[in-house]
């Protein structure tokens, strides 16, 4: 028998960091749990806000899960998956971003003891996928459709959904005021999917109740030249001309060289330039338009010319605002002033320039095609207005989804408790280990009502026991946490509603993320050129980030808060 040593085979470069097996899966779960704990306290109407201060000195105060996840500089490759699902929930549904991170974290937390006991991750993944399919089917059964109602009834019901979303935000104190505003804006754009047709303009100062909605377009007064103040500032039923050309005298861009033999010829060249601009201005006036907007500059000569003829003009209007004016007034953007026919002109009931706080706004209201709306937000601090905008974005997305998929489910943790009860009951009918796994999935769903209680300062154990008893009796399908009294209440009767799509998407994304993290059993971290490697390889996590764990601190691993 040979005592010779086996030859050592080196596959990976020296210094390469590899970790694998059970320890790797547990490490990934721990990292994700830390991330979930960070946003945990922001859930629900009594959730706290996070103040995030970045290295550029920008300060953000937010309650929105997706915003917080984006701003946390997470390095751990597995934990980055939670950032991705928060972003996907935000872009698909707009709300429920904290919910999706919490659920994913809780699914992993429930899976951890099984992994430590030596259960193969694939068994867990299989059971979790079955449980998620059952949960989604149950949500679809319990969803109540709001289709077939009159427009006024529908508006009231949509406002209830917006109120549920806004109740957990900074502007929750004025949720009814903002909910009706959001519904008006979404109904205004109708079935058009483009979110940018709803403009949100922020003007510091005043009270948040000074915010208002315009059934058309409002934008800040643009840079203006001499003669601007002589123009009329209000029109009724004006024609609107939208241009994408400059109306000013420009020095030649090209290095043109003209040789003249007679000084009088020079005058004719100057005159030609003036004649060209006057010809353009004359054609604008003849079109019959009373409001002329251009994406490029309108110079002092043109401003004065229009002022003398009682025409309002504004140059350097941003492309986004100009597109929204086109959608609202029914006008078409022109790149020439030749042959401007009536069909390309837009119109609105009233155009006026109005003072809002410290700013002057050009407002087009009562628009004929009515495909756009603008919300002007007021408030004290800049951070407050920024957060109000994020809150309104969530509410707008929710109302849009509720209009398209008009089925709602009770909120306040009611639907989560009902699915949890349903899955526990189903688990009893299954033999083998998967009974335990589906049971743990059901237990994880209780994190939502539990966290709602914790954030409001109630006794979570007491409230959850009441909820379990109510749901088990079969009568309390719609019962959830009552934030006002600390007890339980019928969420549906109290109009705490959310579109079923929010829950379906959240459960889908959270289960996917949990299964993905459980399926990774090895991370390879290449020492060479970290920055290139972070993008190109990054190891078995599919090239996500630079290894490490927790949050990026000043070096090293672990969770470091500066």
Vertex 65 angle, CA 60 and 71, to 5°: 45
DSSP state of 547: S
Q: Within a domain: residue 239?
A: no
- Residue 532: per-residue pLDDT: 45
Q: Within a domain: residue 228?
A: no
Verdict on whether the full-model pTM lies above 0.85: no
* Both tokens assigned to 553: 């601190």
Vertex 190 angle, CA 184 and 194, to 5°: 100
210: annotated active-site residue: no
State the total domains in the chain. Answer: 1
- Residue 125: per-residue pLDDT: 92
Q: Provide the 3-class DSSP secondary structure of residue 349.
A: strand
Q: Within a domain: residue 451?
A: yes
Q: Within a domain: residue 414?
A: yes
Identified catalytic residue from 215, 394, 416, 482:
394
99: annotated active-site residue: no
- Residue 559: per-residue pLDDT: 42
Q: Provide the 3-class DSSP secondary structure of residue 20.
A: strand
- Residue 549: per-residue pLDDT: 42
Q: How far apart are CA 526 and CA 252, in angstroms?
A: 56
DSSP state of 247: B
Q: Are 65 and 558 in contact (CB under 8 A)?
A: no
Q: Within a domain: residue 445?
A: yes
Residue pLDDT, tens place only, 349-399 = 888 888 887 888 888 887 766 678 888 888 888 888 888 888 888 888 888
* Both tokens assigned to 559: 């969770």
Q: Which ranges of 93-150 would DSSP assign to H, the alpha helix?
A: 97-116, 121-142
Q: Within a domain: residue 23?
A: yes
Q: Within a domain: residue 459?
A: yes
Identified catalytic residue from 64, 215, 482, 490:
64
- Residue 528: per-residue pLDDT: 61
1-6: list long-range contacts, CB under 8 Å, 24+ apart: none
Helix, strand, coil distribution of the chain in percent, nearest 5 = 50, 15, 35
> Could you tell me the CATH number of the domain that includes residue 436?
1.10.560.10
98: annotated active-site residue: yes
Q: Within a domain: residue 368?
A: no
* Both tokens assigned to 468: 């379990």
> Which stretches in the chain have pLDDT values below 70?
1-20, 148, 192-193, 250-256, 368-370, 527-562
Identified catalytic residue from 67, 98, 165, 523:
98
Q: How far apart are CA 345 and CA 179, in angstroms?
A: 34
Structural domain range at position 115: 17-145+410-519
Identified catalytic residue from 97, 99, 164, 523:
97
């Amino acid at each position: 028998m040979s005592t010779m040593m086996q030859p050592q085979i080196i596959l990976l470069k020296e210094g390469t960091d590899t970790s694998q097996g059970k320890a790797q899966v547990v490490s990934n779960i721990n990292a994700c749990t830390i991330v979930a704990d960070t946003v945990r306290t922001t859930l629900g109407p009594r959730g706290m806000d996070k103040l995030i201060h970045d290295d550029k000195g920008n300060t953000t105060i937010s309650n929105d899960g997706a915003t917080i996840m984006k701003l946390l500089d997470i390095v751990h490759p597995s934990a980055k998956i939670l950032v991705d699902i928060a972003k996907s929930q935000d872009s698909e549904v707009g709300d429920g971003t904290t919910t999706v991170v919490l659920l994913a974290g809780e699914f992993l937390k429930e899976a951890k003891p099984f992994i430590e006991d030596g259960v193969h991750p694939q068994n867990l993944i299989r059971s979790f996928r079955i449980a998620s399919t059952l949960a989604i089917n149950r949500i679809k059964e319990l969803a109540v459709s709001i289709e077939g109602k009159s427009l006024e009834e529908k508006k009231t019901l949509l406002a209830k959904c917006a109120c549920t979303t806004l109740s957990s935000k900074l502007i929750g104190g004025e949720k009814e005021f903002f909910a009706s505003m959001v519904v008006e804006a979404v109904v205004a754009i109708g079935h058009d999917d483009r979110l940018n047709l709803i403009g949100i303009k922020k003007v510091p100062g005043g009270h948040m109740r000074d915010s208002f909605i315009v059934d058309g377009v409002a934008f800040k007064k643009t840079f203006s030249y001499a003669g601007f103040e002589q123009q009329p500032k209000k029109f009724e039923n004006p024609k609107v001309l939208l241009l994408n050309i400059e109306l000013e005298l420009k020095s030649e861009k090209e290095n043109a060289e003209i040789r003249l033999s007679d000084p009088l010829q020079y005058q004719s060249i100057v005159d030609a330039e003036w004649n060209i601009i006057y010809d353009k201005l004359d054609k604008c006036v003849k079109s019959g338009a009373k409001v002329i907007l251009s994406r490029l500059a309108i110079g002092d000569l043109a401003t004065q010319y229009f002022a003398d003829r009682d025409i309002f003009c504004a140059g350097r209007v941003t492309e986004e605002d100009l597109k929204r004016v086109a959608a609202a007034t029914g006008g078409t953007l022109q790149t020439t002033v030749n042959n401007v026919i009536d069909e390309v002109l837009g119109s609105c009931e009233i155009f006026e320039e109005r003072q809002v706080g410290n700013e002057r706004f050009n407002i087009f209201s009562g628009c004929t095609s009515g495909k756009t709306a603008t919300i002007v937000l007021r408030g004290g601090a800049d951070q407050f207005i920024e957060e109000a905008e994020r809150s309104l974005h969530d509410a707008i997305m929710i109302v849009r989804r509720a209009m398209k998929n008009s089925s709602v489910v009770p909120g306040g943790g009611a639907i989560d408790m009902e699915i949890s009860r349903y899955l526990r009951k189903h688990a009893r009918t299954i033999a083998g280990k998967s009974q335990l796994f589906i049971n743990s999935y059901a237990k994880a769903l209780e994190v939502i009502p539990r966290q709602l209680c914790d954030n409001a300062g109630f006794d979570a154990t007491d409230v959850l026991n009441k909820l379990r008893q109510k749901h088990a009796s079969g009568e309390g399908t719609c019962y959830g946490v009552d934030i006002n009294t600390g007890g339980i209440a019928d969420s549906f009767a109290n109009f705490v509603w959310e579109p079923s799509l929010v829950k379906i998407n959240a459960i889908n994304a959270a289960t996917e993320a949990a299964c993905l993290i459980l399926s990774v059993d090895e991370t390879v971290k290449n020492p060479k050129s970290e920055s290139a490697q972070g993008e190109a390889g990054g190891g078995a996590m599919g090239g996500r980030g630079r290894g490490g764990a927790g949050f990026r601190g000043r070096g090293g691993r672990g969770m470091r808060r500066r």
